[in-house]
Amino acid sequence: MYAVVRTYSGQGADSLFNLLERRKAEVESVIRAVSGFQSYTLIRTDDGGVTVTVCQDKAGTDESMQVARDWIQKNAEDLAGPPSVSEGLVVLHLR
């Protein structure tokens, strides 16, 4: 498995996470459609938030980054800047 962590902080990040929370059913349907989807977590922080996507392989996490970027461009382009991204192989995944 492979994971990608996107961290949104700074100006507009809190507003972005307010929107994501209000539209979580829509966000869920977009993310669940990603090839090899395993899990998704949306975490609110003091200065914005973090998303964690786990897929069967890197192709899935690459797709998840693209659909997330597309959704934000369509629905929240003016709210926050691009996230800081970390990704890698999953060593342990518990559900």
Predicted confidence (pLDDT) per residue in 5-49, tens digit: 999 998 899 999 999 999 999 999 999 999 999 999 999 999 899
Q: Where are the domains of the chain?
A: 2-89
**pTM, rounded to two decimals:** 0.91
pLDDT value, residue 78: 83
CATH of 2-89 given 3.30.70.100, 1.10.3720.10, 3.40.640.10, 1.10.15.40: 3.30.70.100
SS (H, E, C) 61-85: HHHHHHHHHHHHHHHCCCCCCCCEE
| Inter-CA distances, 84 with 13, 22, 41, 81, Å | 12, 23, 16, 9
CB 87 within 8 A of CB 3: yes
Q: Which residues pair with 44 in a beta bridge?
A: 49
Over 10-42, what HEC string results?
CCCHHHHHHHHHHCHHHHHHHHHCCCCEEEEEE
